[in-house]
Amino acid sequence: MATQNDNGMKTYTTSEAIGQYIRVKLSSGLAAIAGAGEESIGTTQQSVASGSPVTVKLDNAPGTQIVVSAAATVASGGNCYQAASGTIASTINGRRVGINTGTATSTSAGWFEMLPTGVNS
């Protein structure tokens, strides 16, 4: 039976340990860390061990998302791109996924607020 999600949050079982605010994809029905150039379904809302349930804020959910920056900083108002290990970068490693809507620049491995630009855009 099909279900419909109206609140933008969905729980998945993980295929590996995943940190908080990491971009994830589906792999064989399990949440897995999305790499550079890989489409994500959303961002995790908590850190979890492998095989544990994790709440994911879906990429098409209303509002902004908290994400983790890669090695480079992402300026406030700057474009956000897919990066390795489920992170976001200011350099083009993959598809553009959003805009940093935080009031200050983020730092390496820091959390910041991103407005997603749309699913598969």
Residue 15, pLDDT score: 98
Q: Which is it for strands 42-44 and 88-89: parallel, antiparallel or unpaired?
A: unpaired
Q: How many CA atoms lie within 13 A of 8 on its CB side?
A: 12
Residue 85, pLDDT score: 94
The reported pTM is 0.89
Note the pLDDT tens digit of each residue in 40-74.
999 999 999 999 999 999 999 999 999 988 777 78
Residue 43, pLDDT score: 96
Percentage of the chain beyond pLDDT 90 is 59
- CB burial of residue 48 (10 Å; 0-12, 13-18, 19+): buried
Instruction: Grade residue 16 by pLDDT with cuts at 50, 70 and 90.
Output: very high
Domain boundaries, the chain: 9-58, 65-116
63 vs 112: CA distance, rounded Å: 14
